Structure 1
Amino acid sequence: MGKNFRSYLLDLRNTSTPFKGVRKALIDTLLDGYETARYGTGVFGQSEYLRYQEALSELATVVKARVGSSQRQHQSAAKDLTQSPEVSPTTIQVTYLPSSQKSKRAKHFLELKSFKDNYNTLESTL
């Protein structure tokens, strides 16, 4: 997530478009339980722990459902992009160079590399 759990919950509660299916009361329950357990601001016994666990499980279910739905939408969009019936198969034409041109190509490459090395040396001395 890149941020702490409390900040994540506050962002969820304060956004104008919260997760579909996440009630603000659920987020408040999680925030209260987190702050009580973490900072000792109140009693956090077995019943509070169970209530917190239940709320956490509910949030996890909603988030997992949303992520799964989002992945299905992305897969569907990707499938739509890859299925274009009017695209013809691509052909690749390979041309082999005669041996005389191969040596010229290598020579040009070495000259270019030498020029680049000299340029970098010159630039580093400035």
Structure 2
Amino acid sequence: MQDLEIYIRDLPAGAVSRWLGSHLDNLELEDGVTSSFVKGAGVYEGERLRISLYPGAFGKRFTSVVIEGAKLPWNTDLDCARSAWRSMDTEIRCSPGDWKEGEPVEDEKWWRLDHRGEQQVVWN
């Protein structure tokens, strides 16, 4: 099982389903209300994916979007973030990919994609 995780700032209602609808088949995601946990699913290249939205991440303004499955539409969190940015035009953040569960995160850099471009930044 692989996973991708991105963080979307001030997520508009329905934005994730509009974005993923062009990449997945049989999308089942009720994201019309983005203030509570949302669970959904979709199909990519015949493989079922799980989709989870966790609002209130990192200071309440971000929603964590996790996509899990055997095959994924993007190879990295950054590829996924780029696709989301093109679709939503709101700030997207993701891990640079080298962090492991249990490691300290004090000075960890994150990718930030927004109208200023792509930059590695400390979250706060």
Is the shorter-chain TM-score for this pair beyond 0.5, marking a shared fold?
A: no
Q: Computing the radius of gyration over CA atoms, which structure comes out larger, 1 or 2?
A: 1
Choose between structure 1 and 2: higher strand proportion.
Answer: 2
TM-score, length-normalised on structure 1? Answer: 0.22
Tell which has more relative contact order, 1 or 2 (C-alpha 8 A, sep 6+). 2
Choose between structure 1 and 2: higher helix proportion.
Answer: 1
